[in-house]
């Protein structure tokens, strides 16, 4: 059987580890040739090597995706390897800050907006021209349940993810008639290094996110692969009439609150 992305060229930002790393593995298993763009050189190269050793196709390009010159260079290198064709982009790169609001700084704000929002803008801007030449393409952005459900001590993070939601919708409506789809995947609490750090730091600030609380909120913690498979669906032809949508991967957490 052909894979769901058989013959596709895919770029995944933040694809070295965590849910982005899981997506890199999943996309490659489904037949895509995957360009992993990430700051983490060791993890990125190891991920690409593991995919190749398993019979898939992947390569790593190091870049800070909040920096325009590095994004443009990485995407140009990917396009060269892909003979000018990009079928899908997964904007997964991102991070978080857990702090009481009045302890946050302007530097915190600027950094988090750059990593979580500006990176999405830069990557999409760099990739869209190649998709427009094809007349088709799919973009998936990682947002979060925090875009619509506020959490104490995460005002900056929630704000950046709210921006990701609207970026997704606006790109979808602007480029729909040119064959481009854009959707977002929105995890709840997730078992990644960032996700586990988030829980630890929230607990230290007496936010109710103990293991028992997580079980009440979303049944259990989300696994990285579950986010990767949701992104795969949104990227694939199976979601050909899904555009501008936000897919929550939270096991009913949002609807139960």
The catalytic site residues sit at 157
Q: In what order do the strands lie in the sheet with 33-38?
A: 57-62, 33-38, 9-13, 88-91, 137-142, 180-187, 246-249
φ/ψ of 256, rounded to 5, equals -95, 0
Residue position matching structure tokens 């669906």: 233
Do 221 and 190 meet the contact criterion of CB atoms below 8 Å apart? yes
Give just the sign of the alpha carbon dihedral 142, 11, 124, 153.
positive
Report angle CA 173, 240, 249 to the nearest 5 degrees: 85
66: tokens are: 């909040």
- Alpha-helical (H) ranges within 96-192 are 106-113, 119-134, 155-175
């Amino acid at each position: 059987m052909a894979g769901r992305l058989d013959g596709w060229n895919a770029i995944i930002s933040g694809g070295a580890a965590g849910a982005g790393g899981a997506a890199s593995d999943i996309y490659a298993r489904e037949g895509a040739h995957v360009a992993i763009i990430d700051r983490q050189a060791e993890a990125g190269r190891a991920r690409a090597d593991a995919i190749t050793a398993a019979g898939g196709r992947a390569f790593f390009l190091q870049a800070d995706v909040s920096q325009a010159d590095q994004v443009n260079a990485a995407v140009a290198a990917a396009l060269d390897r892909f003979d000018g064709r990009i079928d899908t982009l997964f904007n997964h790169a991102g991070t978080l800050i857990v702090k009481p609001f009045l302890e946050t700084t302007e530097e915190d704000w600027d950094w988090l907006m750059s990593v979580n929002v500006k990176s999405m803008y830069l990557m999409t801007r760099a990739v869209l021209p190649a998709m427009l030449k094809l007349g088709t393409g799919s973009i998936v952005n990682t947002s979060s349940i925090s875009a619509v459900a506020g959490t104490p001590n995460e005002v900056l993070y929630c704000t950046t993810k709210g921006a990701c939601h609207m970026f997704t919708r606006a790109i979808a409506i602007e480029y729909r008639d040119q064959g481009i789809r854009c959707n977002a995947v929105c995890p709840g609490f997730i078992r990644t290094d960032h996700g586990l750090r988030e829980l630890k730091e929230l607990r230290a600030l007496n936010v109710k996110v103990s293991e028992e609380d997580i079980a009440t909120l979303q049944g259990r913690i989300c696994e990285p692969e579950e986010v990767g498979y949701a992104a795969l669906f949104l990227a694939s032809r199976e979601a050909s009439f899904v555009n501008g949508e936000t897919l929550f991967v939270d096991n009913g957490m949002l609807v139960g609150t």
